[in-house]
Chain A
Amino acid sequence: MTAMEEVDEDSGLSCANPGCKIASGGRCLEGFPDASACPQFGKALVIVPGTTPPPRPAAPGIRLSHAQSLSISEATSLLRGGLCNVISLVGPFDSGKTSLVAGMYDLLQRGPVGGYSFAGSSTMHSLERACHDSRRESGRTEAFTERTERGEVLFFHVDLVSEGCDGKRAALFGNRAGEEYSMVQDEPDRAKAYPELKRSDVLTVLVDGAKLLHAGERHQVRAEVRLTLRAFVEAGVAPPWQRLAIVLTKLDAIRKDEAGCAGALSYFDALVAKVREDYASTFAEVQSFIVAASPKTTNAHRGEGMPELLRYWMADPARNAPAAIKQREVTKERAFGRLPLVATARAGS
């Protein structure tokens, strides 16, 4: 017996106290001369079951790697293991950050993407979970993505190999709840506590395409993008070798709205132009992309625009590009040192 059971006595002389013998003709255990005055009298007897012995533990199995998103310390160890590009996905709630990674992974299930082939992943459970609600098995008729929970940043990991190249390069996608990035606009220093930002090779800022279709929302979207970038720069988490990708998501929603489509796209172009104007010298490169990572309607094919974005994400990190060092003339302190070399002097005459 594992649950509490109530027993009703047929005699009507019942007591909730299991030690009381009143039901079998005895006296009230609480000492009441008139048993009916006892607060336990007349109530169903409560039988507390004995403790069920715990099941015998099965023979201990050998644990394998968890296959879930990586913590910051696990991602740091992976960074030490070889070539790796870190990609931060920044955008408000429901802008499509998780869908972007899930869409890329699901495209790889069909073959190489943008000249990159799949070479492994240590986070396959999390990637599969992220893809689930855009797959047939979910029982849905419209793609959906679970909300990212607030808390520490977690990383999706995929190893990729470029066409004609032999070595793997890992991609680590920082996944953090959109609300936490939004809070940076109020308190820029909060960005310093987000370790993925400063280490990112590509800062990817998402622009929700569906919101650009609404006159009331689009100005807010533009303001959020600009405020977020400004906050990152002011907080010092945007190093000069970082590349910036501005990604317009939900292309299917934009195309579906025939009347608003052109307006939304030109508004996005103007937003990109303004970001370039403001931040061209802050970032190593600024590029824009338009994607349909996990479309809800048939107005775009799944993965449109993703190959170009993946190539940008996986390009050789600009932090590794050799920078030209200016030659500086040092005036010799001694007069002898300032004499021209014989050969130089002859050439000059």
Chain B
Amino acid sequence: MTAHDIVVLGLPGSGKTTFLAALWHLLTSDEVETKLSLVTLKAGESAHLNEIAALWRRAKVQERTLHAGDRTVTMSLRNGTASEFELSFPDLAGESFQQMWEARECAPQVAASLRSSNVLLFIHADKIKAPGWIVEDAEDAEAAGLPQEAGKPVPWNARMAPTQVKLVDLLQSLQVPPLETGARSVAIVLSAWDKTAGAGMLPDEYLKAHLPLLSQYLAYGLDKAWTVRVFGVSAQGGVYDETGKPPKDEAQRIREMDVPSERISVVSAEGQSHDLTEPLQWLLP
């Protein structure tokens, strides 16, 4: 059987596990048409997949303890009528990438996974940290006639960097030794897309507006042989219940939907669907 691999990247809390949970439900339920279909239920880490998919069906937030650490999920899939193949997703913990940015090192097993030619890069569209300038705060305070509150100076720490800086650094690291591996395809997933859909922009436009440094780097900094496509993905379809907190009306509305797969929304320049396998199919050779 042919084997393909797609490495799943993203900072902590960028939506990687929710995507995998919704994908496993989508592939196992046959509720909507998908570009890739499941050949057999046998999968690497199937217990984990079933566990996170169960939480997803119940509209409950994924608990971080369930997906701590790095793991590789494998699935047997078929692309339309073509022959089947095994797809492996090294699902690396967001902390691994945080460590790459802050400590400038990564574990050997993480480095091995990062040499995949196919990259699924997650960015939480609603939790983008942009650089805020003091002088602009001063302008706002002056316009509102409010005094600025002086705080205690906080020393610099790499963790404070804007989201786009960390992502540019991650992509730069994939282009030079020891992680360089030649041309790659990168599917950028702007997760929690439903929360930002009001902006009325296509995913490409949203990325350019909210992550301008990353957008410039994708256009001019990547090797010409690399290909990039941006997807807006809502794998949850709304707000889910959190453990230990009162249930939410929105989560109840989502649970009441007859076809859970219809919670999912995938937006790209080519249109909108419920098919989470679209970005995966685009990455396959």
Q: Do A and B come from one complex?
A: yes
Is A62 a contact of B132 with CB atoms below 8 Å? Answer: no
Q: Which of B106, B131, B135, B212 contacts A61 (CB 8 A)?
A: B106
Is A168 a contact of B220 with CB atoms below 8 Å? Answer: yes
Q: Which of A256-313 contact B (CB under 8 A)?
A: 294-298, 301-302
**Which A-chain residue is minimally distant from B219 (CB atoms)?**
A117
Residues of chain B within 8 A (CB-CB) of A66 are: 104
Is B164 a contact of A109 with CB atoms below 8 Å? Answer: yes
Q: Which of B228-282 contact A (CB under 8 A)?
A: none
Q: A64-B104, A118-B221, A168-B220 are in contact. Are A109 and B131 (CB under 8 A)?
A: yes
Is A64 a contact of B212 with CB atoms below 8 Å? Answer: no
Tell me, yes or no, whether A142 is within 8 Å of chain B by CB.
yes
A125 to B173 CA separation, bound complex (whole angstroms): 14
Is A118 a contact of B138 with CB atoms below 8 Å? Answer: no
Tell me, yes or no, whether B139 is within 8 Å of chain A by CB.
yes
Is B132 a contact of A119 with CB atoms below 8 Å? Answer: no
Tell me, yes or no, whether B284 is within 8 Å of chain A by CB.
no
Q: Which of B154, B164, B176, B216 contacts A137 (CB 8 A)?
A: B154
Residues of chain A within 8 A (CB-CB) of B111 are: 62
Is B104 a contact of A67 with CB atoms below 8 Å? Answer: yes
Residues of chain A within 8 A (CB-CB) of B77 are: none
Q: A125-B158, A136-B137 are in contact. Are A63 and B105 (CB under 8 A)?
A: yes
A109 to B165 CA separation, bound complex (whole angstroms): 8
A304 to B2 CA separation, bound complex (whole angstroms): 57
Tell me, yes or no, whether A108 is within 8 Å of chain B by CB.
yes
Q: Which of A115-130 contact B (CB under 8 A)?
A: 117-122, 124-125, 128-129
A171 to B36 CA separation, bound complex (whole angstroms): 46
Q: Is the interface of B mostly helix, strand, loop or mixed?
A: helix
Q: Which of A100-118 contact B (CB under 8 A)?
A: 106, 108-112, 117-118
Q: Which of B165-185 contact A (CB under 8 A)?
A: 165, 168-169, 172-173, 176, 178-179
Tell me, yes or no, whether A65 is within 8 Å of chain B by CB.
yes
Task: Point out which of A108, A117, A128, A133 has the most chain B C-beta atoms below 10 A from its C-beta.
Answer: A128
Q: A61-B107, A161-B220, A168-B220 are in contact. Are A120 and B156 (CB under 8 A)?
A: no
* Nearest Cβ on chain A to B133's Cβ, whole angstroms: 6
Is A135 a contact of B220 with CB atoms below 8 Å? Answer: no
Q: A132-B160, A138-B134, A298-B139 are in contact. Are A111 and B154 (CB under 8 A)?
A: no
Is A119 a contact of B217 with CB atoms below 8 Å? Answer: yes
Tell me, yes or no, whether B73 is within 8 Å of chain A by CB.
no
Interface string of B105-127 (1 = CB under 8 A from A): 11110010000000000000000
A114 to B104 CA separation, bound complex (whole angstroms): 32
Is A120 a contact of B158 with CB atoms below 8 Å? Answer: no
Residues of chain B within 8 A (CB-CB) of A67 are: 104, 169
Total A residues in contact with B, Cβ cutoff 8 Å: 49
Is A62 a contact of B108 with CB atoms below 8 Å? Answer: yes
Q: A109-B162, A112-B216, A141-B148 are in contact. Are A62 and B107 (CB under 8 A)?
A: yes
Q: Which of B82-124 contact A (CB under 8 A)?
A: 100, 103-108, 111
* Nearest Cβ on chain B to A235's Cβ, whole angstroms: 36
A296 to B104 CA separation, bound complex (whole angstroms): 33
**Which B-chain residue is minimally distant from A165 (CB atoms)?**
B220
* Nearest Cβ on chain A to B200's Cβ, whole angstroms: 20
Is B138 a contact of A117 with CB atoms below 8 Å? Answer: no
Tell me, yes or no, whether A139 is within 8 Å of chain B by CB.
yes
Is A62 a contact of B106 with CB atoms below 8 Å? Answer: yes
Is A64 a contact of B173 with CB atoms below 8 Å? Answer: yes
Tell me, yes or no, whether B31 is within 8 Å of chain A by CB.
no
Is B217 a contact of A62 with CB atoms below 8 Å? Answer: no
Is B212 a contact of A62 with CB atoms below 8 Å? Answer: no
Tell me, yes or no, whether B42 is within 8 Å of chain A by CB.
no
A270 to B99 CA separation, bound complex (whole angstroms): 52
* In the complex, the 8 A-B pairs of residues with the closest C-beta atoms, listed nearest first: A61-B105, A136-B132, A139-B151, A119-B220, A132-B156, A119-B221, A161-B220, A120-B221
Given contacts A61-B106, A65-B176, A124-B165, 17 further A-B contacts (CB under 8 A): A60-B108, A61-B105, A62-B111, A62-B178, A64-B173, A65-B173, A118-B213, A118-B216, A119-B217, A121-B168, A124-B169, A129-B156, A135-B131, A136-B134, A294-B135, A298-B138, A302-B133
